Structure formats: structure tokens, C-alpha cells
Amino acid sequence: MAKTEPNLVLSASGLAKSYLSGEQRLQVLRDVSLNVAAGESVSIRGESGSGKSTLINLLAGLDATEAGSLRWAGEPAAADRRAAFVGIVFQSFYLIPELDALANVLMAARIRGAIGTAERARALGLLARVGLETRVRHLPAELSGGERQRVALARALMNAPQLVLADEPTGNLDEHTGNAVIELLLGLCRDMGTALVLVTHNAAHAAKCDRPLTLHEGVLQ
């Protein structure tokens, strides 16, 4: 069994993914390897179609790799560990329209089991940290795009994950709001000691991370 450094939260080796398009198979990712240490922030930039979202899905265990291996904190990645280990922030927020901000954040904990006093207190605390303490009972339709993404940040951190994966979290936001969301995301992860992999097309946002990388034609550089 391959050994993994004890401080590595994420260890991916030789990941590959292809898709069938008509009669041709398109190779999206080729032999991608990535190690992320506890508390480290890594950014991944790349042109449209370079495989960034596909890579995030593989790292999150939402899709299966065709080759290589993926380990979370030294153990094989597994669906039954995902909710406790990984928090995910998507470009399109993916909030449940019928639930208010508090209930959306609590949904991350609900996946793991019953909701109690401690979980409600943590959710309220996280909403306060992202500046939404007065908006906890508002539905997503009553929130701005930036506020929705702040709810999504709180949800991603609800279970105190060791790793947050953020896929173009500012893609649906204006420049000013996007900058504020990135600063908040980086600050929260830094304060909580949470590792972060940020996929972004924004060079300025990428440069704020500890280690900026580039994905080009399916190869991580």
C-alpha cells in the first residue's frame, strides 16, 4: 500500500477522464496528480473546456476516475466519507428554493444525521461570519447573487470539513461582489485551517492562493 504524508488532506495520482463524443473519445484529463496539505490553498486556472470542472468532480468523488487513485487524508476516497470530509462550493449556488438560508446551511448537517442545538448554533454562527445574520429566514429568491453564494460558503463549511472544493464560485457574480466572496472564502478557510482547491478563470483570484496551478489540455502544470 502506498504511503501518504501525514499532513496531506488530498492526494491524487494519475487521474484520467475521457468522454465519448459521437464516435470519438475525447480525453479531458491526462495523468493529473495533485497533493494538498492541511490548511493549504491551491488555485487551478485554465481556459474553457480544459477540464477544470471535471477535475473538481473527480476530487470530490462525484465522478469516477478511469485511472489513478484518490485519497482523502491518507484513506481511499469514498462516498460515505464525503459529507464529513469535503465541502463543495458551486458556481450556480445550488440552494434549495423552498428552504430559507438557515435551513439550506443545515442541509449539509442533515445529510449526516439529525439536527440538534449544536448544529443550529454552528449554522447561525457561520451565517453571521458571512455577514447574513439578519437574513437567516430569507429564501434564496429574496437574496442577491452574492448573498446566495455566501449561504453556499456557510453550507460548505457546516460540517467542519478538512477540504473545500470551489468550482468557479464567482462565475455568476459581478467583479466587486466576486472579489468580496473570494476574500471571504480564503479568510474562512485560513481561520478554520481548512484546505482549499479553487478553480477559477480569474488571474487575480488565483494569485491569492498559496499555490497557483494551470490546467492546459487536460494536464496540470
Domains and CATH numbers, the chain: 8-220 (3.40.50.300)
- Distance (Å, rounded) from C-alpha 118 to C-alpha 89? 23
Contacts of 41 (CB under 8 A, 6+ apart): 186, 189, 190, 195, 196, 197, 198, 208, 209, 210, 211
| Rounded-to-integer distance, Cα 124 and Cα 36, Å | 29
- CB-CB neighbours of 63 under 10 Å: 14
For residue 3, the model assigns a pLDDT of: 45
On whether the CB atoms of residues 126 and 157 are closer than 8 A, the answer is yes
> Can you give the pLDDT at residue 6?
61
Residue type, 199: V
Model-level pTM? 0.94
With cut-offs at 50, 70 and 90, classify the pLDDT of residue 149.
Answer: very high
- Identify the pLDDT of residue 23: 85
How many CB atoms sit inside 10 A of residue 132's CB?
A: 22
Sheet architecture: strand order including 163-167:
86-89, 163-167, 195-199, 41-45, 211-216, 219-220
pLDDT at 1: 38
Phi-psi region of 151 (alpha: psi -120 to 50; beta: other; left: phi over 0): alpha
Angle at 86 between CA 81 and CA 91, to 5 degrees: 135
When pLDDT is cut at 50, 70 and 90, the band that residue 2 belongs to is: very low
Alpha carbon of 163 to those of 100, 145, 157, 158, 197: distances in Å? 25, 24, 9, 12, 8
Question: Where does residue 16 rank: exposed (0-12), middle (13-18), buried (19+ CB within 10 A)?
Answer: middle
**Does 212 have pLDDT greater than 70?**
yes
Check residues 135 and 219 and name the one with the higher pLDDT: 135
